[in-house]
A and B are shown apart, each in its own frame.
Chain A
């Protein structure tokens, strides 16, 4: 755990407590079984807005607390532990894009509503099944944006889209020229294909802003993965202590102990790179891209290892829908693919380092 100030410690503890009391995995199961397209419970999101978490990265001048990404990551991690369903990780980078963008009127109009939780905003960057911010065909003519974004997180619930076009980032409100089709995915969360057909758009900035917004979304996905993987590991460790075979708790077998020690090792490395990426964003470092790619690549590999091992080490019970292991693995796989998988970020890291 990074060295935190008192405010951050309070925020983390509060998020942990809330997630355990109000958003345990059973709450996510209720959302999933409810069958709505939003992928989260609106009442839960209202609570999150009241606690101020939607405004953690929104500047104080616009109704947020301006605490930054390390703080936002602490919340994402605690919620990720319990697979708590909320649009928080989509809202924050979209809000940052608006805050960093060039349109003062958009800031004044939208940021206070986002910070309070009243408006849900999301990023719509990728047009295909894999993250590729260099290949964007969406175009803007005469202030109207046209293009198709096939997998937009929280795309069904969003009131506001921060959309990547070939020449930069634009703001599009749900309504005229926007149609969405839900995509029901393995993680049971809200995803949608969103079509923009000459939708009125406000320019926020150029391709640099697109990259900055994508990096923030990526860092938060990594923070959610950190919470998810940590909890998946701890639950597996607990299970091994209770499951008895051959007259022994599984926890006593050295073959399993060494697998667990290896996972613990990878998780410690993951925590370091994820926190470093969030800190790099807050510090405005010039190598944020490298720090973020490091976090998503290392974090992605570790999340894959731990979530798949969670199913394997639980044995048959881990294959049942009744057990949570499958929920962890399915959300893990979506997060691994979201914002660029490990291979994408290894490629980007190599280029950034000149080879």
Chain B
């Protein structure tokens, strides 16, 4: 097997492992053991306990919530092998990373690449400490899959921009402190007329309305900008560079939505559907599910899930050995969505009426969660580039299929 050249000698890594283990033992409150970071896209922030607050502060000050970001901007400054060791040691101790959100997954890496020195100093350390929540101002009512059709306008007023327009599907907008937004600075050019702007959510003229989804939760908002003044220092890159920067950011989003990111891991965890079926349905004398049709559809799903997990593993190994992304990466979003949705559909089918409870008595917590998970899961093939857009991307970029003349 080919191995990548290690940039750390094994004994140095061992020394770091000792350091990490000791630090986690000193700082991680045992009461939080095994509990995962609750800040998922479905739920809003909950009131943190004293232990959670202490753990967040400790990790924030150490920079280990963003282990590979540069130390000068509040990151951990660790090499990748060190970060892997840290992750292993956290897992060993039952500890979890309390620093997360869009700032970590998408905006931080993008700003480190495109921001000025002042912008990086202002924003990155606050993300590393988990002090500032960011939201994404991309989609508009008339600009979804065709994002570059966005109209939200930032008018040049000398020392500032005056922003007017509407954004939608703003994840966590009601809880966010700041928004990274794509705005139009030039109406005469489509892609080249877009700029990347940072907007305070508490600035006068910003209004947020949560959108209630079919699952009953409201993780997204409509965001309205009416004569909002934004200092010119908040422009990232130069005017007209927004599309390039915005696309780069979406690469971070897609990689965290599918490959390697937490959501893929979460999706592949959990009880196998075959197990749920054995709990809710009958089996024959040999322990086989007696609904033969359901049984075969469960096998297909579990094989699909296994194939997906093996493909995630293969893509990670290939990326490491080729020093570049694997072509397999392009399929992850769609297959991840398919596996998630098939699983939820099978689960509610298996549970029958018991799997469609909305709230109140007569249903276990797991059953109620199953209903909401099924409904929320319909978003997976829509957000972050719908399955249809992903297929366009595969056809054009990977297969080199042709444009209409």
Contacts and interface: CB of A to CB of B under 8 A. Distances in A.
Q: Do A and B bind each other?
A: yes
Interface of A: 1-6, 237, 240-241, 247-249, 251-252, 254, 256-258, 260-262, 264-265, 268-273, 275-276, 294, 297-298, 343, 346-347, 349-351, 353-355
B40 interface: no
A298 B307 contact: yes
B303 A346 contact: yes
B289 interface: yes
Secondary structure of the B contact surface, majority rule = helix
A271 B302 CA distance: 17
B277 A355 contact: yes
18 contacts: A1-B318, A3-B1, A248-B404, A249-B402, A254-B392, A257-B396, A261-B392, A261-B395, A269-B335, A272-B310, A272-B314, A273-B306, A273-B310, A294-B303, A346-B300, A349-B299, A350-B298, A350-B299
Given A252-B404, A252-B405, A272-B311, A257 B335 contact: no
A247 B404 CA distance: 10
Interface in B280-303: 283, 287-289, 295-296, 298-300, 302-303
Contacts of A248: 404-405
A152 B140 CA distance: 63
Interface in B287-343: 287-289, 295-296, 298-300, 302-304, 306-308, 310-311, 313-314, 317-318, 321, 327-328, 331, 334-335
B53 interface: no
Contacts of B302: 349, 353
B278 interface: yes
A257 B391 contact: yes
Given A269-B311, A275-B314, A349-B299, A261 B391 contact: yes
Secondary structure of the A contact surface, majority rule = helix
Contacts of B274: 350, 353-355
Contacts of B304: 269, 298
A330 B349 CA distance: 38
Contacts of A272: 307, 310-311, 313-314, 328
Most buried by A among B321, B331, B335, B395: B395
> Closest 4 A-B residue pairs measured CB to CB?
A257-B395, A261-B391, A261-B394, A272-B310
A282 to B, nearest CB: 11
Q: Looking at chain B, what size class is its interface with the partner chain? A: 35 or more
Given A241-B401, A355-B278, A269 B307 contact: yes
Given A251-B401, A257-B392, A355-B283, A4 B2 contact: yes
A226 to B, nearest CB: 13
A3 B401 contact: no
Given A265-B335, A347-B299, 9 more contacts: A264-B394, A265-B394, A268-B328, A297-B303, A350-B274, A350-B288, A353-B274, A355-B289, A355-B295
B399 interface: yes
A355 B303 contact: no
Interface string B250-287: 00000000000000000000001010011000010001
A5 B1 contact: yes
B392 A264 contact: no
Interface in B346-405: 388, 390-392, 394-396, 398-405
Nearest to A354: B287
Contacts of B311: 268-269, 271-272
B388 A258 contact: yes
A275 B311 CA distance: 10
A87 to B, nearest CB: 30
Contacts of A269: 304, 307-308, 310-311, 331, 335
